[in-house]
Structure 1
Amino acid sequence: MTQQGPRKSNTEIAALHWWRIMSDDQLAADHFDGFAQWMDQDPAHKEAFDQISSHHHKSNKNTQTSQTSERASRQTTSRFGWTKVGFGGGAAVAAVALVFLTIATFMPSSPAWQDMTLPDGSVAQFAPGSTFEVAYSDNQRTVHLTNGSVIIDAAKDRVHPLRVVTDLGIVSVVGTRFAVSVMETSMETSVQEGVVRVDADISGAKYVLKPGDRLWTGNADGQIRREALPPQHALELREGWQTFWHASVSDVLDALSRHSGQQFIVLPTDHTNALVSGRFQLTAADQTLSALKMVSGLHVRRVTDVVSVIY
């Protein structure tokens, strides 16, 4: 006799039905009003829909984790749970590549900073939802930052520079206070104290930054930008502010989701593929979405208090 699992409730069946519809861009556009009404009818509807979304989110995250498990030789590994899930395609991608998918969903973890004292006494502050690994040994001090931002007050060690390694470049310091943000299309480095070297992987160029310097490398259009600002503003990310330069709307929504706790369902349109520049308050979702509407022309439809559809 074959054992069957517990029967799903009508709400769970309906939530799965709507999840499948919202995973198809054509169906989602045609049935958005009905979906919004269903979500507003009962708090249990939103809870069931969120559980299904979270299940797929965790499944994607577990797949990514298994692919990196062979890095077990690192002494210290830390991961915090935000992952960007592309519904329908099963891969994490930026909005600029959404032509290959149906819907991208930004699902935030708790919007809280993670403060960590590293083995050498350096202090690292990881922005909400950042994905990273810390690797320390007798001859290396390395933070692998996959996504998000980190502010580091580095302990001095002239023999073993502390390195922040990303897919877009490497930031090296002896002892200083600086910040690094990595996104799908760019990496930003800003310095408050000391001197930092940035090796840009894409161009192969090397840059030396001093207090008050901010550098963007690996942008979507291939350009490099450097600016000077008061050193006291170099680490304004901790107050929720981040300046984007020629960043994709996807990158801004990524950061906004992680810092504000809002969830965004992004439908592929010309507006969501746009590049934007500006200084945004990432803890204030409505304020930032209003600014994005002005600079990129995108549309926002609120589904619940924490879920919006972007198109």
Structure 2
Amino acid sequence: MTAPIAREELASQVRRRLGARTRTAAATTVTADGITTAVIGAPEHADFEIGSISKGVTGLLYTDALSRGEVSSETTLGDLLPLGDSDLKTVTLASIAVHSSGLPSLPPAAQPLRGTLRLWRSGTNPYGETVDQLLEQARSVTLGSPRPRYSNLGFQLLGHAVASAAGSTYPDILRQRITEPLGLSTMHAPSSAAELRPSSVVGVSRSGRTMEPWTGAGIAPAGGIRSSIGDMARLARALLDGTAPGVTALDPVTTFTGPAVRIGAGWLTLSARSREITWHNGGTGGFRSWMGLDREAGTAVVVLAARSVSVDRHGFAMLADLTP
């Protein structure tokens, strides 16, 4: 159990780093000596949008499916999803997992510019598609050259393809293969705002305007998961000790944006202050998140903020502080 003084020290650090305008936030540190969590402005069990850290979770589900023999490095989207004669039917899951499939960030049919404008003007959720609507949009996508390119669409399709291989849905395999085995009672992927829980945190923009929650069955594998900081701490511990399903997703298999950054199944690895850090960040309309692990030192940090201001540098600095 975390010592109260340690928790207060962490809470003070979060307030100092994120500033007074970020009224709701949470952080955890994980070391060999234990786990410390702190939450400001919300109950301890409150769940936050973790944004694109969802891609890291989907990476775990993908490598877990590989270990189960449900998919292989040669499995394509067309093997698992009803994509018709679309170019996308030949894209391998392996190429998506390292963001080198040639898929765009989003399908043009989703009208991402219009969605972004609505987000800026009124805080509207730009990602409310069902899985069927996502697949309809994907069928019209023109595939680009297979080069490193960060793709939300890719991880949306990867998650739903892995679920299809298991004869399931993404929320169900998330529950069956990640949250239940690891005891993550608050982590979930709501398909609509109606599925939010009473403890779900409401996010705000940089200026403090309330933002709609980013819910939707389509976006779930790429950015639709919510979690409390306690569950993020438990996930970090399981990743460090190797008990998390699909933990080999953390292992880099190729370079991403130049030789300094490598990528596994969604997870990035880079050198920071002479340490190898495995990490992912996230951003939604009203939230920012960062999760990082120093696997050699056996330490981790997660920072969640209910305000759309980056927390990346704070996460890297806090993780560095854990290692002498």
Task: Give your verdict on TM over 0.5.
Answer: no
TM-score, normalised on structure 2? 0.29
Task: Kindly indicate whether structure 1 or structure 2 has the higher relative contact order, using CA contacts under 8 Å at least 6 residues apart.
Answer: 2
Bigger share in strand = 1
Bigger share in helix = 2
TM-score, normalised on structure 1? 0.30
